[in-house]
A and B are shown apart, each in its own frame.
Chain A
Amino acid sequence: GAVVSQHPSRVICKSGTSVKIECRSLDFQATTMFWYRQFPKQSLMLMATSNEGSKATYEQGVEKDKFLINHASLTLSTLTVTSAHPEDSSFYICSASSPRGVTEAFFGQGTRLTVV
């Protein structure tokens, strides 16, 4: 199946700093990628839809100035958590729109962000 690689898998940062998370589609071109957030014992919540070459679409309640998304190429989308605070500590997962003829979305490995 198609592979989506997410990096880093774990990151600890100090409050007030910024963190960048990368999501790459390794063997297919992804015009659309999705960013989800998951708090402990909760389900995945869609944060934003990342479109190659255009602005991301954010879900209601997600601050676009805090969670910067860049999708500059067909194989890479990045999520930058700016001025991180402890309440931003969460599990962030990306997924890529599946290639033609393939049904399921493909998920990255996830990034565990801890803000101290």
Chain B
Amino acid sequence: GQNIDQPTEMTATEGAIVQINCTYQTSGFNGLFWYQQHAGEAPTFLSYNVLDGLEEKGRFSSFLSRSKGYSYLLLKELQMKDSASYLCAVSPSGSARQLTFGSGTQLTVLP
């Protein structure tokens, strides 16, 4: 079966750093994705990890530990526009981008 867990809500202050954790147990693994989704809009791609380690892309970084079934998304220098839902998603083995999503973490950035 597929099980992806992430916190439901988080709150942080503008300019701060926030880490959103994701743990997964899936029958097959071909990479982990992070997406940002604003209310009423489609998800937009943030990052992809398939090997262990940290991937950095501007203000956003994502980490993966396959042995622990664990990932986190790190957002630096938070801005008000970063208030959104952040979705952790796993691609099972052999599947062309069929994704299993976590429930999403609603991040609220306060001034």
Interface residues, chain A, with chain B CB atoms under 8 Å away: 1, 6, 31-32, 34, 36, 41-46, 49, 91, 93, 95, 97-98, 103-110, 112
Contacts and interface: CB of A to CB of B under 8 A. Distances in A.
Interface residues of B, number: 20
A104 to B, nearest CB: 4
Contacts, number: 57
Nearest to B47: A104
Say what secondary structure dominates the interface of chain B.
loop
B42 A93 contact: yes
B40 A42 contact: no
B85 to A, nearest CB: 8
Interface of B: 31, 33, 40-45, 48, 87, 96-104, 106
Given A34-B98, A43-B103, A49-B98, A91 B87 contact: no
A44 B101 contact: yes
A49 B99 CA distance: 11
B87 A44 contact: yes
B40 A110 contact: yes
Given A104-B48, A109-B42, A43 B96 contact: no
A43 B42 contact: no
B110 to A, nearest CB: 20
Nearest to B87: A43
Given A44-B43, A109-B41, A110-B40, A34 B102 contact: no
Given A44-B87, A107-B43, A109-B42, A97 B101 contact: no
Given A108-B42, A110-B42, A43 B104 contact: yes
20 contacts: A31-B96, A32-B98, A34-B97, A34-B99, A41-B106, A42-B104, A43-B101, A43-B104, A44-B43, A44-B101, A46-B100, A49-B98, A103-B48, A104-B48, A104-B97, A105-B33, A105-B45, A106-B45, A107-B42, A109-B41
